Structure 1
Amino acid sequence: MQRIKPAIVAAITAGAFSLGGCATKDYVNERVAAVNAKAETTQNQVNQQQAHLAKLDQTTQDALNRAEAAGKLAEGKFLYSMVLSDDSVKFPLDSSKLSTEAQQRLLDFVDKLKNENRNVYLEIQGHTDSSGSKPVNQRLGEERAEAVRLFLNEHGVALNRMSTISYGEQNPVADNKTRVGRAENRRVVLIVMS
């Protein structure tokens, strides 16, 4: 047998180690890429969960604010209410604009509040008849209640002492099948609480 020169053995050994190192390096790169992809997926899931939790936090805060407002009403003592209805104070058709008569009744109401010098809270409820779609009636009830709230604020009632809500067509006080009944259902109710 021929004797292998030590230089050739060294070269073959170095080559073998080199090839083994490349194979190991490729394997490590593949594993690192897989781990990085999994980490990125996990981070995206964490980000989505955090966004969802933030949305839930906001929803919870909104619910808490509504509950606190309801609590104030529940703690308060009902003093009296005032109704502005279509049969006594005309709202133009599909409009939230206050008539001159409605404005005068509201001015009388403000004077009564000021004369009593009470620290009161007002809930302003907008109602409609069943004519039109539910979304339109909901919006119209809110617009009418908001028009009353803004008018009262312009005449000295603090905004933080009032809230508005629209019941749309949900709580009729009369039959919506008759003209007179529909007129009674188109109303704004002011609830005065102490």
Structure 2
Amino acid sequence: MSRSKLRTAVLGGALVAMGFAASGCASHRFVRDQVEVVDNRVTQVEGTAGQALQRANDAHKLAEGKFLYQVVLSDDSVKFPTDAAALSPEAEQRLAQFAQRLQSENRNVYLEIQGYTDSTGTPEHNDQLGEQRAEAVRRFLNRQGVALNRMSTISYGQEEPVASNDTPEGRAQNRRVTIVVLA
């Protein structure tokens, strides 16, 4: 092989190698981008799985405890306005009666206070608002003498409507707090 042919072959090989290297960089960047997309999705799935696990644990706790009865505080007596968690005087009166009932029965019970909302607002906001409503009830019951270690709160937000969210009346029914009494 002549010297010029050898040089051409070596230069050609070098160019081919550089071409493979350059295409490898583009492939590497593509793989990195795809891995980032997958990582973001995994993070979202982990968050959703964590929420599902919390709900499953709460359901398990309900199943373990002996269900006695539940009290539903909805628009009829509590009158939660849209996007509000403050208790009305009527709600406080009804909760005071409920606390007296608990004390007169003198039972060793556990309360799960569940907050709900209508579908107005984002799901995230509604989860927070449902928690605020449940916490308002928990604080009031504590002031009435119910021990904090006998109560827990959870928000279901807009997830479990009892009426259609298409009408003002239905939305009012969905803005509620349910107290589940367990032995």
Does the pair score TM above 0.5? yes
1:23 aligns with 2:12: yes
Report the counterpart of residue 91 of structure 1 in structure 2: 79
> For 2:49, what is the secondary structure of its paired residue?
helix
2:159 & 2:34 partners in 1: Cα distance? 41
**Residues 118 and 98 (structure 1 numbering): CA distance in 2 closer, same or farther, change over 3 Å?**
same
C-alpha displacement of 1:29: 0.8
Judge conservation of contact 1:110–1:152 (CA < 8 Å) in 2: no
AA aligned opposite 1:135: T
**Corresponding residue number in structure 2 for 1:170:** 161
Cα shift at 1:93? 4.6
Q: Determine if the alignment matches structure 1 residue 122 to structure 2 residue 112.
A: yes
- Structure 1 window deviating more from structure 2 (182-191 vs 18-27): it is 182-191
Instruction: Please tell me whether the aligned partners of residues 78 and 91 of structure 2 are also in contact (alpha carbons under 8 angstroms).
Output: yes
Q: Pick the aligned partner of 1:101 from 78, 82, 90.
A: 90
Give the counterpart of 1:76 among 44, 49, 65.
Answer: 65
Q: Residue 135 in 1 paired to residue 123 in 2?
A: no
Gaps of 5+ in 1: 1-12, 129-133
Q: CA RMSD in A?
A: 4.0
Larger radius of gyration: 1
Residue among 172, 177, 181 paired with 1:188: 177
- Residue 33 of structure 2: SS of its match in structure 1? helix
Cα contact 2:67–2:181 (8 A) shared by 1: yes
In the alignment, is the contact (CA less than 8 A) between 1:85 and 1:184 conserved in 2? yes
- TM-score (structure 1 length as normaliser): 0.62
Task: Identify the residue that residue 161 of structure 1 maps to in structure 2.
Answer: 152
Shift of 1:60: 1.7
Distance of 2:36 and 2:10 partners within structure 1? 38
Q: Secondary structure at the match of 2:179?
A: strand
How far apart are the structure 2 equivalents of 1:135 and 1:50? 32
Q: Deviation of residue 15 (structure 1)?
A: 4.8
Deviation at 1:72, TM superposition (A): 1.1
Partners in 1 of 2:29 and 2:136 — Cα distance?
A: 51
Residue in 1 that maps onto 2:133: 147
3-state SS of the aligned residue for 1:170?
coil
Contact map agreement 2:114 2:154 (CA 8 A) in 1: yes
Cα offsets for 1:13-47 (capped at 9, x unmatched):
55554444322222211121122222332232233
Distance in 1 separating the partners of 2:63 and 2:80: 34
Cα deviation code 1:76-113 (max 9, x no counterpart) = 211222233444x3526534421223224324434555
